[in-house]
Copies of this chain bind each other. A is one copy, B any other.
Amino acid sequence: MTPLPPKIEIIAVGTELLTPYYQDTDSLYITQRLNDLGLTVSFKTIVGDTTEDLQQCFRTALQRSDWIFTVGGLGPTEDDRTREVLAAALERELVFRPDILDRIKTLFKKLGVSMSAANKKQAYIIQDAAVLDNNNGTAPGLWIEEGNKHIILLPGPPRELKSMFESSVWPRIQSFRSFFLVRRTLKMSGTGESFIESLISDLHPQDSRLNLTMLSYPGQIEIHLTGRSETSEYEAQALVEELRMHLEQRLTPYIFSTSGEELEAVVGRLLTSKQKTLAVAESCTGGLLGHRITNIPGSSGYFVGGVQAYSNQVKLELLGVPAEQVQRHGAVSSEVAGSMASGIRSKTRSDFALAITGVAGPDGGTPEKPVGLVYTALAYEGGIVCERNIFPGNRETIKIRSTQKALSMLLKHLSSPQSGAHPGRKP
């Protein structure tokens, strides 16, 4: 008989997580990495910085769970109490570690800031705990063995948590692998959730080793597949790949990535491989398109820049959009979108240019040009293509959908067989 898998609990600590404004997101990351080892989470608890409530949660977790991950409450402030309260629950001392204080002091020196007295608190650790180094902040993590239970204290800031998890927690939990788990994500744009569902409704897996989850974001649908095997990664992989193949047969026109890449990364990869350059001209998105493109490391290899043509004056003077065009068709029109794209393309001598102009709202809509009306244009060697859409949602969502549409247009062009072909020239 194989042993039961461990009961795992994640405790997110912070009074702000009990307000209507904040959600614990760290636990999603921890869950993902545990799932990678075939381990599942049984309980998540969210508790404030109150000593009494924290105590209550630690006692409960110590009774019902074998592995306890705590997140947060390791900072230097008065209301960071995870260490103290857990030490009391375990009836252990807090021990001062001068080497940790030295590390913290060095970190502050590197940043050119003087350490505040409050940080000294972070050099106290729970007796007999192993210290998990923090490469991105002052709070060290702790790994505690209590009987046959493991208690792992992690810092709340995601950057600190992730780096610590990868470098110090992951190597220690490898040996607890109970399943082989393989994931695949299909990312799609250009259609909606119910349409995708109608195309694949008969493909939902009956096999309990397979899971299919569909998620919907503005301008993007994702299908997450997981396959589990007790015997081998190969088997888990084979399960997932068979399902993926069936899905791809139905969904090919909408899929832009099967490896987890964002749309801007896929576009960037194609531009790099084709040695082409890109410029943008953004009105209602104000810079979001360029921001997304430049989120990809190495984007300076293909992205030359662009113009945030928010006012009409900038459209005219920096992009060379004809004043007569704005007057006759309005700034939100296919004509102006096209002129913006060809304007920035010629000014920057880039191979491709994307332009966006629209009504992001909440104000500024009219019966003819309602909130959500957006024109996106692609200019390339062979001409200009333009699309008109009316996007649902609020200002932020409309901005996101607009950039998604613009990137999709470029991707479609880059993926088509005649991409880059001069009109009249054979591909």
Contact = CB atoms under 8 A, between A and B. Distances in A.
Given A48-B42, A113-B195, A394 B159 contact: yes
B293 A303 contact: no
A307 interface: yes
A23 B25 contact: yes
A44 B16 contact: no
Copies in the complex: 2
Nearest to A192: B113
A32 interface: yes
Interface string A386-427: 000010111111010000000000000000000000000000
B16 A201 contact: no
Interface stretch (A83-91, A167-175, A238-246, A284-292): A284-292
Interface string A141-172: 00000000000000001010000000000000
Interface string A275-315: 00000101011111111011101111001111111110110
B197 A118 contact: yes
A157 to B, nearest CB: 7
A10 to B, nearest CB: 9
A347 B204 contact: no
Please classify the interface of chain A as helix (H, G, I), strand (E, B), loop, or mixed, using the class held by over half of its residues: mixed
Contacts of A24: 23
Interface in A7-47: 14-25, 28-29, 31-32, 35, 40-47
A303 to B, nearest CB: 5
Nearest to A108: B194
A77 interface: yes
Contacts of A257: none
A49 B307 contact: no
Contacts of A298: 363
Nearest to A397: B159
A1 interface: no
A197 B116 contact: yes
A311 B307 contact: no
A284 to B, nearest CB: 8
A213 interface: yes
> Among the interface residues A35, A295, A300, which one has the most CB atoms of the partner chain B within 10 A?
A300
A218 to B, nearest CB: 9
Contacts of A57: 43
Given A46-B43, A297-B395, A214 B288 contact: no
> Among the interface residues A15, A29, A136, which one has the most CB atoms of the partner chain B within 10 A?
A15
A224 interface: yes
A270 interface: no
B303 A77 contact: no
A117 B303 contact: no
Interface of A: 14-25, 28-29, 31-32, 35, 40-50, 53, 56-57, 60, 64, 75-79, 111-113, 115-119, 136, 138, 157, 159, 192-195, 197-198, 201, 204, 211-216, 224, 280, 282, 284-291, 293-295, 297-300, 303-311, 313-314, 317-318, 347-348, 360-364, 390, 392-397, 399
8 contacts: A78-B197, A136-B392, A286-B291, A297-B361, A297-B362, A300-B310, A307-B318, A311-B348
